[in-house]
Amino acid sequence: MDFELSEEYKMLKDSVHDFMTKEIEPIAEQIDREDKFPEWVWKRMGELGWLGITIPEEYGGSGFDYLAQAIVGEEMGRICPALALSAGAHSNLCCDNLYRNGTEEQRHKYLPPLCRGEKVGALALTEPNAGSDAVGIQTTAKKDSDHYIINGTKMFITNGDIADTLIVYTKTDPQKGARGITAFIVEKGFQGSFTSRHLEKMGYRGSPTAELSFEDYRVPRQNILGEENQGIRVMMSGLDAERAIFCGLGIGIAERALELSLKYAKERVQFRQPISNFQLIQGKLADMYTALEASRLLTYKATTLAQKSERGGKGTEIHKVAAAAILFNAEAATKAALDAVQIHGGYGYMLDYPINRLFRDAKLAEIGAGTSEIRRIVIAEALLEEV
């Protein structure tokens, strides 16, 4: 077992670190305030190869793996979690899903412009009445000769209002529950009505989130991703990798919370000494460091396992490990951000200190990609099945 990253990963990590520090840190607060990141950032990330990290080079990607994707998320998340979320949803939820489940024709058609940053990708599963219970989706796709007609509403979709290419989950046979789900590659601009409503969030501002409505939206048959009524396979094929990869953002947030707290604790003087002299403050710093290290190890294990496992899902080791990684990671990041606010005292509560943004951002990881409650259920079910 080697705990050192290889040179290749280190170089990738350093290049993302430098870009984020030089180019994004000065505008991170503005991105949060305006709830919008500049278009040039997306194009630049495409040029740098960070929008198709796990996609093989023949389809325009960088040919890395899930560990690399988590490392990129970590370095982006340290400075601007919103950017990391949008890039992650694009690269993993859309591109990697399309690569894993797409035909050769679909891969060649859709992946290169997505990887180059000319197009934005998204994945639309959640609905107003179907979140944790994803199989309960009500959006339908009805066959009409060589097309399917989509009707329904999707909720909380990352990049939803700016996406050009979306993976959309529908019911093609509503009576059959999980066995009646079909995933489609949907382009903006197909015939029919497609509307989006931008949603205001407490955190991750700058990463657009939208409610999407499809009305008589016509999608060609050849845009089915995977097979008809086999959408649950498409969904499950990526869930564990998604959970493992999104841990990168939590690591970035926790790392930044610790960095800012260490600096502030050494500078802030109360009772004629830096507050870093107080053991109750030191205890918080030590806990932040410990959780961060544990979180990173679990994440690297989960991403490596996800890469090795052909298809994750129920009954596989990765299903349990990925749920454990993101459960721990998300709660550790929220706690680190909360402790960082406490160390900063009243200043931590002020909007012009970056710490409040980390706190607002951190909480999402306990909700998206399956909530903490669902993750605990997944882990417990797996443990009990093993006995």
| Contact residues: ligand FAD, CB under 6 A | 89, 122-126, 131-132, 156-158, 201, 204, 209, 364, 367-368, 371, 373-374, 377
Min. distance of Cβ 212 from ligand FAD in angstroms? Answer: 10
The count of C-alpha atoms lying within 13 angstroms of the C-alpha of 79, restricted to the half-sphere facing its C-beta, is 19
Instruction: Give one DSSP letter per residue of 35-61, joined into a string.
Output: T---HHHHHHHHHHT-SSTTS-GGGTS
Whether 242 sits among the annotated catalytic residues: the reply is: yes
Give the active site residue among 74, 211, 242, 366: 242
CB nearer ligand FAD, residue 124 or residue 327: 124
From the CB of residue 156, how many other CB atoms can be counted at a distance below 10 Å?
19
CB nearer ligand FAD, residue 61 or residue 121: 121
For residue 244, give the nearest of 79, 88, 384, 122 by alpha carbon.
Answer: 88
Min. distance of Cβ 157 from ligand FAD in angstroms? Answer: 5
Min. distance of Cβ 330 from ligand FAD in angstroms? Answer: 12
CA distances from 82 to 31, 206, 249, 353, 372 (A): 8, 6, 9, 17, 20
Could you tell me how many residues make up the chain?
A: 387
Q: How far apart are CA 370 and CA 238, in angstroms?
A: 13
Instruction: Give one DSSP letter per residue of 226-257, joined into a string.
Output: S-TT-HHHHHHHHHHHHHHHHHHHHHHHHHHH
CB nearer ligand FAD, residue 132 or residue 193: 132
Q: What's the one-letter identity of residue 53?
A: I
* Main-chain dihedrals φ then ψ at residue 132, nearest 5 degrees: -60, -35
CB nearer ligand FAD, residue 204 or residue 359: 204
CB nearer ligand FAD, residue 126 or residue 356: 126
Q: What's the one-letter identity of residue 135?
A: V
Min. distance of Cβ 104 from ligand FAD in angstroms? Answer: 26
Q: How far apart are CA 249 and CA 296, in angstroms?
A: 11
From the CB of residue 23, how many other CB atoms can be counted at a distance below 10 Å?
14
The residue at minimum Cβ distance from ligand FAD is: 131
Min. distance of Cβ 174 from ligand FAD in angstroms? Answer: 19
CB nearer ligand FAD, residue 131 or residue 248: 131
Min. distance of Cβ 158 from ligand FAD in angstroms? Answer: 3
- Could you list the active site residues? 242
